[in-house]
Amino acid sequence: MQNMELLERIFKGRRALLKRQILECALTEFLRTGIAATTIEMICDQADTSIGAIYHHFKNKEGIIAALYISALTDQSEQRLQALSQVQGIERGIQAVIQSYIDWVVAYPDFARFLYAAHHTVQNSDFKEELQQSNQQRNQELKQWLAQQADISQLQAIPLELLMSLIIGPTESYCRSWLSSRVHTSPKHYAAALAIYTVFSRK
């Protein structure tokens, strides 16, 4: 249900119902069987639809992977921008980014696992350009928020493309460990500590 909730935010309306169903079933199959091992036929069986319907909506398996990947990044970005819209200042912004990232991972662990698993596949697919355009749009939205902050000079030496990696790096590392069950304490428990570490590591 959580997965469909996210897909409904990205692909709205009744006309997108089949597309959402295919994507939800594909996500489940990718996580269960593995991205490389999953076939279009497996997804058809799970979604109870035809190969023609899948090709109509997504062209091929890579198209399904890209749609899931970009949907997850888009939703994650929208949650981040919503969190940023409620705060002012770089330090509070960093805290909001970390908290929203953790909240999203905990709320949508399947999509978070998929993002980590599918990164290399999408980066080397025919949908690489679409991903780059999507990333540029998300970066522009973040840049607009940063430009409105009075203390933006604190970050002037950091390229925007590097900024998110510096802010999210430790949090992402812990979330990956949690999703793979290498650690068991929810990242929510450490949200404050991760934010403090990130803020002070800049100073």
Q: What are phi and psi of 185, to 5 degrees?
A: -75, 130
Report the distance separating Cα 59 and Cα 40, nearest Å: 11
Domains in the chain, CATH or no CATH each: 1-197 (1.10.357.10)
- Confidence band for 29, pLDDT divided at 50, 70 and 90: very high
pLDDT at 30: 98
What is the DSSP secondary structure assignment for residue 158, as one 8-state letter? S
Q: Give tens-digit pLDDT for 9-24.
A: 999 999 999 999 999 9
CB contact at 8 A, 128 and 122: yes
Report the distance separating Cα 46 and Cα 26, nearest Å: 8
pTM comes to 0.91
Q: Which of 139, 115, 117, 202 is nearest to 167 (CA)?
A: 202
Q: Give tens-digit pLDDT for 142-196.
A: 888 888 988 888 887 888 778 888 889 999 999 999 999 999 999 999 999 998 8
